[in-house]
């Protein structure tokens, strides 16, 4: 029987920083990773650049200090999004692994945890079964991630382990993903435009953000749409058909006056009303949505320009999602230490817990921060 102070189920962002933090405190640590290599999902974050954190995150400074301690320099862009100076996610994984090896953390890859058994008689200690091997530890961290982007091995394993140890799971939902629309907008595929994007549920506004919208063959994408997807909450009383997206391209401009002036230009038709204001195909689409009779109706074209609506069909699934909404209930975790309130010695960190933030480094901040907290308190 192999014995450790801490076993970490999942060698992703949260698990790696927890291992380093705990090992620096003299703990004997074992990481069991499902994938053939550590940190597989980190490589894909920030489009391969690894958006580590955001200046707006409350504890961004502590995360930056941690990365400075492993030799990684961080830079912030004009929006406050933090990246490694090299803009290479691979460098983040490399330096994390360097510390893991330097500190003597034991790593076993291609090892999915099958089950975890807590010694109820003594109230302490765990047995972990993995690939027909059994390991013993005083403490255990579950940091297997959520269900988003299963190609990286995140298939909800941590939720099942948490449930066997008595924890309840808030229903997992794929978020930070594109939104499918019922409207036929295939002709707009590839078009991008800035807009104020709002989401309505049964007529009530539940989300609004300004950003670049990307039109696709299935619907809408872009950072602002990804953030919007976090608010598509369906249940017994609400379905996707209760939601409507409204795009306002005016950005505070008086479009009606602009169109009135263009109307006086000799030779221009209704189809030309938005030419030079929006991408050609989008302008034509808005004029067509305003109606064939809108040739002389500047008011209708302006109305569609400031309030182009789309019916929601659904959200892109787990394959395309960047994050999981739902997970281990925060009510059952001491958020100062990341230890379970139900089972002594059991810790959680990262996407397995019921936290999801917007694009811009918030979700990686949660992974690093919760992993460091767990490592300090095991």
* Per-residue pLDDT tens over the stretch 325-360: 999 999 999 999 999 999 999 999 999 999 999 999
Mean pLDDT for 48-52 is: 96
Cβ contacts of residue 357 below 8 Å, gap of 6+?
Answer: 323, 363, 365, 366
- Residues 21 and 28: their CA atoms lie apart, in Å, by 11
Q: What is the pLDDT of residue 294?
A: 46
Select the more confidently predicted residue: 208 or 235: 208
- Residues 14 and 108: their CA atoms lie apart, in Å, by 16
Answer yes or no: is pLDDT of 48 > 80. Answer: yes
Mean pLDDT for 266-287 is: 88
Answer yes or no: is pLDDT of 7 > 90. Answer: yes
Handedness of CA 148, 355, 38, 82 (dihedral sign): positive
Q: What is the pLDDT of residue 158?
A: 96
Percentage of the chain modeled with pLDDT above 90: 87
Answer yes or no: is pLDDT of 124 > 80. Answer: no
Q: What is the pLDDT of residue 108?
A: 97
Band of pLDDT at residue 263, cut at 50, 70 and 90: confident
Answer yes or no: is pLDDT of 146 > 50. Answer: yes
Band of pLDDT at residue 273, cut at 50, 70 and 90: confident
Answer yes or no: is pLDDT of 202 > 90. Answer: yes
Which of helix, strand or coil describes residue 289?
Answer: helix
Q: What is the pLDDT of residue 39?
A: 96
Q: What is the pLDDT of residue 260?
A: 87
Least confident among 127-136, 148-157, 365-374 = 127-136
Contact 78, 38 (CB under 8 A): no
- Residues 110 and 130: their CA atoms lie apart, in Å, by 10
Answer yes or no: is pLDDT of 246 > 70. Answer: yes
Q: What is the pLDDT of residue 266?
A: 85
Provide Rg for the chain, Cα atoms: 25
Domains assigned to the chain:
2-174+323-377 (3.50.50.60), 179-315 (no CATH)
- pLDDT averaged over the chain? 94
Answer yes or no: is pLDDT of 292 > 60. Answer: no
Helix axes 13-24, 89-102, angle to 10 degrees: 30
Q: What is the pLDDT of residue 2?
A: 72
Band of pLDDT at residue 15, cut at 50, 70 and 90: very high
- Residues 149 and 277: their CA atoms lie apart, in Å, by 37
Mean pLDDT for 307-322 is: 96
Q: What is the pLDDT of residue 122?
A: 55
What does pTM read for this prediction? 0.93
Extract the runs of DSSP E, i.e. beta strands, from the chain.
Answer: 2-9, 29-32, 53-54, 74-76, 81-84, 106-108, 113-118, 126-130, 133-142, 169-175, 179-181, 192-201, 204-215, 219-221, 243-248, 308-315, 323-328, 333-334, 339-340, 346-348
Answer yes or no: is pLDDT of 121 > 60. Answer: no
Q: What is the pLDDT of residue 194?
A: 98
Q: What is the pLDDT of residue 293?
A: 47
């Amino acid at each position: 029987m192999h014995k450790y102070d801490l076993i970490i189920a999942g060698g992703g962002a949260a698990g790696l920083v927890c291992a380093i933090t705990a090992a620096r405190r003299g703990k004997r640590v074992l990481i069991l990773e499902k994938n053939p290599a550590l940190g597989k999902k980190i490589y894909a974050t920030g489009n391969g650049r690894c958006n580590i954190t955001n200046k707006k995150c409350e504890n961004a400074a502590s995360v930056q200090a941690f990365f400075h301690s492993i030799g990684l320099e961080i830079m912030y862009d004009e929006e406050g999004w933090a990246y490694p100076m090299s803009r290479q996610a691979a460098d983040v994984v490399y330096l994390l692994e360097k510390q893991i090896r330097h500190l003597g953390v034991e790593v076993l890859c291609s090892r999915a945890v099958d089950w975890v058994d807590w010694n109820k008689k003594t109230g302490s200690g765990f047995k972990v079964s993995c690939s027909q091997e059994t390991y013993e530890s005083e403490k255990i961290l579950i940091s297997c991630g959520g269900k988003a982007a299963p190609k990286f091995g995140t298939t909800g394993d941590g939720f099942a382990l948490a449930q066997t140890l008595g924890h309840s799971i808030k229903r997992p939902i794929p978020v930070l993903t594109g939104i499918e629309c019922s409207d036929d907008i295939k002709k707009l595929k590839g078009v991008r435009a800035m807009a104020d994007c709002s989401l309505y549920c049964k007529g009530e506004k539940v989300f609004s953000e300004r950003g670049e919208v990307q039109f696709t063959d299935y619907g809408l994408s872009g950072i602002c749409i990804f953030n919007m997807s976090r608010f598509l909450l369906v249940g017994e009383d609400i379905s996707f058909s209760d939601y409507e997206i409204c795009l306002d391209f005016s950005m505070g401009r008086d479009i009606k006056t602009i169109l009135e002036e263009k109307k006086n230009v000799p030779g221009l038709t209704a189809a030309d009303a938005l030419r030079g204001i929006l991408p050609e195909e989008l302008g034509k689409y808005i004029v067509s949505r305003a109606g064939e009779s809108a040739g002389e109706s500047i008011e209708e074209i302006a109305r569609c320009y400031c309030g182009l609506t789309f019916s929601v069909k659904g959200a892109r699934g787990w394959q395309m999602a960047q994050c999981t909404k739902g997970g281990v209930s925060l009510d059952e975790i001491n958020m100062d230490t990341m230890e379970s309130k139900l089972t002594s010695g059991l810790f959680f960190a990262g996407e397995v817990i019921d936290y999801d933030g917007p694009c811009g480094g918030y979700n990686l901040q949660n992974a690093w921060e919760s992993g460091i907290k767990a490592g300090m308190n095991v």
